[in-house]
Structure 1
Amino acid sequence: MSVFQFRTVPHLISEPGASAQLGAYIRQHFPEVKRALLVTDPGFLNTGLVETPLRSLRDAGIEVHVYADVQADPPEAVVMAAVAQAQLFHVELVIGLGGGSSMDVAKLIAVLAPGHQQLADMYGIGKVQGQRLPLVQIPTTAGTGSEVTNISIVTTGATSKMGVVAPQLYADLAILDANLTLGLPPAITAATGIDAMVHAIEAYTSAHLKNPLSDILAQQALTLLSQNLARVCRNGQDLAARQAMLLGATLAGQAFSNAPVAAVHALAYPIGGMFHVPHGLSNALVLPHVLRFNLSHAAPLYAQLASIVAPHASGSEDARAQAMIDAMQALAAETGIVRTLREVGIAESDLDALAEAAMLQTRLLGNNPRPVTLTDARAIYAAAW
């Protein structure tokens, strides 16, 4: 058996309505905390769903400040503005409440607010130093898995993104409350759900650090997500399916945090960075084409996953692997998600620049089961166009 290490968040609560008890949970884990910063985005703030967890914090005697200026694909300026607010109010705990961007920013506030280090010195793997503030994460989409990962992605220039990867970014507590996801529109539900499925598939097939625990989590994640995604796209008020999606996304996050993602993400990042396409949709657009590219090297693993997403598939290993890819495409079609690059405003003349940007994602490309060249990346984008 392979030697491996596995890390994840130490405490996870999965319960509809759990965010209404946020103050009590924080009192239980951090009885001395008096001031907290809640990090979210303007869209989620406007839903009014922030009020219940805020009330529970205040009822628990915790003074809470809200930073609600998080943007999708958060730029460094947003991160630093949030850190400044945390320092101004001398907060002792950080709460991420939102999608992946809000939770990513919350992670960085927790490690930057104590003032030990500059953000520019944290980019890369294992470069965070010192202790962070206590950190609680509450996802409002079933997609990124950021509530249980040790990764935070920041937009560092006009189009470029960089990652901070360090064990300090694991939260102390993650709360999965499907009540917070009931209002998600079908398009966002579909994109974030497929994003989570990508996490599971890429963790299961990762060329580096693939391990038995991540495999089990990826398989269970794929089971929950594949069985419930079309269901929640049809009926967004289906609480049981919403909770299953949240758990599936979290399990996929635990998997890929230990067995990292690969070429789907490497090719998705430039789409998001250059054309401001949401991350989950960017992944969905390139997914089937990367899977086909990888077939020559990953067919045995894809065939294993076919038993989950295409249970009636039979025949040879290659046939079952192809059935898995076909099932993913069929699921995307069933959700009604956009499926080509041209539909999100990308011109054929943009494909060269996308391919060149994707080749800069060396941290991710190294995890792919099949090596990716510039020519390969250009061909994958052309197939997606």
Structure 2
Amino acid sequence: MTSFTFQTTPRAICEIGGLARLGELMAGLGVSRAIVVCDPGIAACGLAERAASFLDAASVTATVFDQVQADPPVWVVRAAVETARSFQADGVIGLGGGSSLDTAKLVALLTRSEQKVEELYGVDLARGHRLPLIQVPTTAGTGSEVTWVSVVTSEANEKKAIYSSQLLPDIALLDAELTLGMPPRVTAATALDAMVHAIEAYTSRTRKNVVADALAVKALELLGANIRRVVTDGSDIEARSAMLVGSMLAGMAFVNASVAAVHALSYPLGARFHIPHGHSNALVMGPVFRFNILVAKKAYAELAPHLLPGRSFTSDEEAAEAFVSELESLVEFVGLETRLSQLGVTEADIPDMAREVTVGIQRLLATNPRDMSFEDVVGIYQTVL
């Protein structure tokens, strides 16, 4: 067995109605002044106000920063940090989807730091200690509540990843009630994102390990068994809870084993065309996995029974084909657009996106099970144009 290191969030709480414990949990971390980081939608539906009320009830003074944007631009992060400093926050809550959680991590890290966001792009460049941090996801997909990575959009309109162990929160609080209002499209896109996390972790060429494998398999079982349920009936609280746990397990898996080419190809779609991250993954997932079958056949065959329980296969070829076909059918089932051209991408955009992937996101291509050239990336984009 090869050597590996595994890190994750020290405490995860999964409890329907668990948001009511937010004040108690924050006070337990020694926090007296907390900032809630979220987007305008979370504020508009009253969730931020509810969170603040639970903090106030535990004598934790609260303020809300509700200006997070999708694929958070660095200026949003700076504004959130300045709000936290002005408020003299000594604790941070991320409330919402991946963008809010990623922003909250950086607020916790930078509020008492002299470092700038731009100085953190890369791996292990953060100095010092962050503020106490609780992450409360309202979508089941990103797994950001258990990862030490934050992805932002630079001023050059490129996605930049910040990796640092300081970004791991103290507590991941999973409350399925908070996902009940998620629209079917968001439910579908985030669920597919989580499934890609599990699959790419399991097939990682460089960082695959036995702990991440076990988490990825269980995540795929939970996500595969419940994605159709939550898209069809958004009020199914049991299925919603299973999806949250599946997303968390997939997050634990991928941050320790890495994601790969699906994510690499999805990044330009988010940064350039503002296609939600889960939807970007869904667009390129099928052709990337088909490209990988040549070398990932055995791994996909191992995953097939967990996505297709009860099915029997006569060969790895049959199992791998059924596995990829099922994923493609899920994209069709959930009703997301499946062509790049439907979302504003043109043939002329493809070469620049492919260059960005093969030059700027090589770290993810390196973990993909099969080598992928510039021409390969162009071909995959053209397949789904």
TM-score of the pair, normalised by structure 2: 0.98
1:162 corresponds in structure 2 to 160
Decide which of 280, 294, 298 is 1:300's aligned counterpart.
Answer: 298
Which one-letter code corresponds to 1:361 in the other structure?
A: I
CA shift, 1:120, in A, is 1.6
CA shift, 1:342, in A, is 1.6
Mapped partners of 1:189, 1:91: distance in 2: 32
> Cα RMSD (Å) of the superposition?
1.0
CA shift, 1:15, in A, is 0.9
Ranges of 4+ aligned residues in structure 1 off by more than 6 Å? none
Secondary structure of residue in 1 paired with 2:47: coil
Asked whether the 8 Å contact 2:72–2:153 carries over to 1, the reply is: yes
Which one-letter code corresponds to 2:4 in the other structure?
A: F
CA shift, 1:136, in A, is 0.6
Matches within 5 A, 1:282-361: 282-311=280-309, 312-359=311-358, 360-361=360-361
Equivalent pairs, count: 383
Asked whether the 8 Å contact 1:190–1:335 carries over to 2, the reply is: yes
Asked whether the 8 Å contact 1:262–1:366 carries over to 2, the reply is: yes
The percentage of counterpart residues that share the same residue type is 48
Secondary structure of residue in 2 paired with 1:50: helix
Mapped partners of 1:217, 1:174: distance in 2: 16
Decide which of 220, 225, 228 is 2:226's aligned counterpart.
Answer: 228
Mapped partners of 1:323, 1:73: distance in 2: 33
- The farther-off stretch of 183-192 and 113-122 is 113-122
CA shift, 1:257, in A, is 0.8
Mapped partners of 2:96, 2:88: distance in 1: 22
Mapped partners of 2:17, 2:184: distance in 1: 22
Secondary structure of residue in 1 paired with 2:290: helix
1:198 corresponds in structure 2 to 196
Decide which of 110, 113, 116 is 1:115's aligned counterpart.
Answer: 113
Which one-letter code corresponds to 1:270 in the other structure?
A: P
Asked whether the 8 Å contact 1:181–1:242 carries over to 2, the reply is: yes
CA shift, 1:53, in A, is 2.0
CA shift, 1:134, in A, is 0.7
Matches within 5 A, 1:172-251: 172-251=170-249
CA shift, 1:335, in A, is 1.4
CA shift, 1:313, in A, is 4.5
Which one-letter code corresponds to 1:368 in the other structure?
A: N
Matches within 5 A, 1:248-259: 248-259=246-257
Mapped partners of 2:355, 2:178: distance in 1: 38
Gaps of 5+ in 2: none
1:251-274 Cα shifts (integer Å, max 9, x gaps): 000000100000000000001111
1:52-105 Cα shifts (integer Å, max 9, x gaps): 222110000011010000000111100001001111111000100000000000
Gaps of 5+ in 1: none
CA shift, 1:322, in A, is 0.9
Which one-letter code corresponds to 1:25 in the other structure?
A: L
Which one-letter code corresponds to 1:127 in the other structure?
A: L
2:86 corresponds in structure 1 to 88
Asked whether the 8 Å contact 2:26–2:91 carries over to 1, the reply is: no
Matches within 5 A, 1:132-171: 132-171=130-169
Asked whether the 8 Å contact 2:48–2:64 carries over to 1, the reply is: no
Asked whether the 8 Å contact 1:223–1:308 carries over to 2, the reply is: yes
Asked whether the 8 Å contact 1:313–1:323 carries over to 2, the reply is: no
